[in-house]
Amino acid sequence: MRDEAIHSCGITAQTIMLAVKSMGYDSCPMIGFDPKKVGSLINLPNHIICMMITIGKAVKEAQPRGGQLPLSDVVIMVHF
């Protein structure tokens, strides 16, 4: 049940991020937080926080992602 909940959370987060982008907002998934501490701060008993998302208007363009492979290196067209 826990794994399915985390899987569903990822799908939900992606849907939220796509929806807010269509409304003219920006979003960013957050990592590096302690889910137990955040749960304690908001008094959330017997639940797990599997993702947090920031939503707002960007004040500047996002930094380019480093280390991304060219599409031709990761996509195989027509054959295996």
User: How does strand 26-30 pair with strand 52-56?
Assistant: antiparallel
Q: What is the pLDDT of residue 80?
A: 66
In the block, tokens 């004040």 appear at: 59
Comparing CA positions, the residue from 21, 26, 46 lying closest to residue 35 is 46
- Low pLDDT (below 70) residues in the chain: 80
